[in-house]
Amino acid sequence: MYSRKALSHFESPAIRRARSLTRRRRNMKLQSSKRLIRKLWTRGFCQRSKLSLSNRATCSLSSP
């Protein structure tokens, strides 16, 4: 069998362009999902830390 690199010599420019477009789309989708996960995680973490801070503050106020 030929490797993809060896076959790329015989590919038409249209096929090569379509492949690079597919690769670019896949990369963009991966990047955006990473960004979304990071954003959601950060927001959740901030909310949790605020909650624990406010909980600590109320506990210290209510304790004698």
Written as six digits, the tokens of 48 are 């949790």
Helices (H), 1-64: 4-7, 13-62
Q: Are 24 and 32 in contact (CB under 8 A)?
A: no
Is this model's pTM higher than 0.75 or not?
no
Q: What is the pLDDT of residue 11?
A: 75
Q: Sketch the domain layout of the chain as residue ranges.
A: 9-62
pLDDT tens for 5-61 read 555 567 788 888 888 888 888 888 888 888 888 877 777 766 666 655 555 555 555
